[in-house]
Amino acid sequence: MKKIATIIFVVVAFVSNAQLTPGYQGKKNIFSFQLNVSPTFLHPNYQKRKFSSYDGKTTFKPLLIVPFNVTPSVYYERVLGRKFSLSANYSFVRTRAFTDVKLSVIDPATNTSEILFQEVPLKLNAHYVNASMIIYGRRALAPFGKYFKLHLGYVNMRSKFEVDSLTTERVNNNGLTITTYKINTGDLIQQLQSLNYGLSFGMNRIYKSKVVINRGITLSNIRNPFGAFEEGSQRSSYTIFNRIRRHDVLSFYISVGYLL
């Protein structure tokens, strides 16, 4: 982390010259609201939206089109040089995933050791805080024009099952219930932290000297979460990570901002 901070400090000091940094007509701050749109790039099973209720006989309906995730974020950019600026943004992702849940039991009648609950829906939330270094192109003058952006950030991912409990019943040959197995999923909340990094290409246009329209494309990746996939961790760790990472791989964004 120290190395990264040092590199950023040196780059900022090198490329910025406050005296001759024009900004846009002297304005050097942008506050904006951004929408990231990303195709899910998920296994077909995830491309399912509807289910009646979790009763062991889930009916999933495949989507007709490739689904897109839409993520809102708030964004701040500060121009520091003629072709250089730093930005920070906060994004919030809310999505869904499906995971299998195993219940380990000892059933004397059948000698089975576990019961599998398949495709249990999870509510996923992720909070991103990113810092970016933006380098504007030859035809640009920060904050106007085309740019290349590198970002590095912190991601906090959280999962919660959509149902509070999972139940299944064992019945005998006569159809009578022998045993009821139940898992309280309501308490199974999992949190993961990780770093994400990526790059973007985009373009800022400025209207009426105040309104900034920013659009571009981002390629991003999330590092393996801290402490995830360790022994004893649940299967949902992988699901959360995988779902969020895929959410981030490629996204298109557009933002509307105000120039100050």
Partner 1 sequence: MKFSYLLPIFVCLNLFSQNQDLTKNYIPLKSSGKLPDIYTQSAAQKTNNDIATLNRKKGETNKSDKRKFYLESNFYQDKLLRSGRILFGDPISNFVNKVADEVFRGNPELRSKLQIFVVKSNVVNAFCFDNGIILLNSGLIAQLDNEAQLASILCHEASHFTKKHSIESFVTIRNESRKRYSDGSEFDEYQHSKESELEADVEGAKLFKNSNYSYKGVVGAFNLLKYAYLPFDEVIFDKSFLEDSNLVFPNSYFLKETASIKKEEEYDDAKSTHPNIKKRKEAVSNELGAIDDSGREKFLVSQTEFNTIRELARFESCRIGLLYKDYVECVYNNYLLLKKYPKNVFLKTTLAKALFQIAAYKSPTESDYNDVLKVEVLEDNSSYNIDFEYDSKEGNSQQVYHLFNKLNATQSTALALNYTWKLKKELNDTSKLINQLCDSLFVLAAVNNKVNSDYFRKVTPQQYLKQLEERNKLFKNESSDIKVNEPKKYTALDEIAETDKDSKIGKIENQKVKEEIKILEKKDTTLVAKIDESEFERFAFVDFFKQPDFVSKLSKAINLRIQIDKKSNDREGRTHRNRGGLGIDSLVILDPFYVKLDERKRDGYKYFASDEKLDEFGVILKNNADLAGLKYAYIDSKSLKADDIDVYNDFTLFNDWKNEFLYNDFHKTALVLNNNAYDVLRKKYNTNYVLWNGIVNTRMRKEYLAYALLGTVFIYPAPFTIPYLLRKEYSTYYLSVLFDLKTNQVVYYKSLYLKMSDTEDFLNAFTYDVMNRIKTEVKYKK
Residues in touch with partner 1 (CB under 8 A): 17, 19-20, 22, 24-26, 82, 138-139, 141, 144-145, 205-207, 209
Q: What minimum distance in Å lies between the beta carbon of 204 and partner 1?
A: 9
Specify the residue, 79 or 155, whose C-beta has the smaller distance to partner 1.
Answer: 79
Closest C-alpha to 123, from 154, 155, 164, 151: 164
Q: What minimum distance in Å lies between the beta carbon of 136 and partner 1?
A: 10
Residue 196 neighbours by CB under 8 Å, 6+ apart:
128, 130, 151, 152, 153, 154, 155, 220, 221, 222, 223, 248
Q: What minimum distance in Å lies between the beta carbon of 82 and partner 1?
A: 8
Look at phi and psi of residue 159 and say left if phi exceeds 0, alpha if psi is from -120 to 50, else beta: beta
Specify the residue, 26 or 44, whose C-beta has the smaller distance to partner 1.
Answer: 26
- Token digits for 15? 């490329």
Q: What minimum distance in Å lies between the beta carbon of 129 and partner 1?
A: 30
Specify the residue, 25 or 59, whose C-beta has the smaller distance to partner 1.
Answer: 25
Specify the residue, 126 or 212, whose C-beta has the smaller distance to partner 1.
Answer: 212
SS3 readout for 42-58: CCHHHCECCCCCCCCCC
